[in-house]
A and B are shown apart, each in its own frame.
Chain A
Amino acid sequence: EADIYQTPRYLVIGTGKKITLECSQTMGHDKMYWYQQDPGMELHLIHYSYGVNSTEKGDLSSESTVSRIRTEHFPLTLESARPSHTSQYLCASSAGAGRNYGYTFGSGTRLTVV
């Protein structure tokens, strides 16, 4: 039973197209994150958010942008997709207070740009 949802699960798209990867969570978590992961490689943080109207870039430079207009929603947008954007994108959230500060991850979106 997933509490954080990512859509689509797989996406194949042509170069130059604009895409938005959706991420929603039902746990009321303040903090949300986007990670990028190539097959067999490490997770790299590309964006994070403290809460509504708060977004920051992560350690890995990314041409994507994010928004946080509602607590539960943290979409990621690529204005013009390129083959170098081919990767898996993982969304996660965590509580801002309480005993468990751990992450809950979505199932990921596997993006292929052709």
Chain B
Amino acid sequence: DAKTTQPTSMDCAEGRAANLPCNHSTISGNEYVYWYRQIHSQGPQYIIHGLKNNETNEMASLIITEDRKSSTLILPHATLRDTAVYYCIVRGTGGFKTIFGAGTRLFVKA
């Protein structure tokens, strides 16, 4: 699975949109982009995934660039409970050794 690059940390004001970027320049054609978040020491929680089209669900939106080399996770109205570590990973059908990396530590402030 391809490696991703994310900023170490970000701040966001409560109620504002949080935009978390991710670079995955070596992504291959059959690999999906996945986003997870980890609150405290719980297991990472699935947020959203996509291949090449933008995706939206009840938690977030995922914007993937046309060349698929980067993506942005958007939390439209961040709350204090969205403070967590957010992981961007790419993953295909045969991948096992997915690298989670350090993720982005998002701090939502009142």
Residue interface mask A29-40, B partner, CB < 8 A = 1:
001010101010
- Complex interface residues of chain B between 63 and 110 (CB less than 8 A to chain A): 91-93, 95-98, 100-103
Question: Which of B34, B41, B44 is close to A110, meaning CB atoms less than 8 Å apart?
Answer: B41
Question: Which of A31, A39, A97 is close to B96, meaning CB atoms less than 8 Å apart?
Answer: A31
Interface size class of B (residues with CB under 8 A): 20 to 34
Question: Which B residue's beta carbon lies closest to that of A105?
Answer: B43
A-B pair count, CB < 8 Å, reads 58
**Most chain-B CB neighbours within 10 Å: which of A6, A37, A58, A102?**
A102
A56 within 8 A of B: yes
Residues of B within 8 A of A6 (CB): 43
Residues of A within 8 A of B100 (CB): 35, 42-43
Residues of B within 8 A of A92 (CB): 43
In the bound complex, what is the Cα–Cα distance between A33 and B100 (angstroms)? 13
Residues of A within 8 A of B98 (CB): 45, 103
Residues of B within 8 A of A96 (CB): 93
In the bound complex, what is the Cα–Cα distance between A41 and B102 (angstroms)? 7
Is A101 a contact partner of B32 (Cβ separation < 8 A)?
yes
Can you spell out 20 A-B residue pairs with CB atoms less than 8 angstroms apart? A31-B96, A35-B100, A41-B102, A42-B101, A42-B103, A45-B97, A45-B98, A48-B96, A88-B41, A100-B49, A101-B92, A102-B34, A102-B46, A102-B91, A103-B46, A105-B43, A105-B44, A107-B42, A107-B43, A108-B43
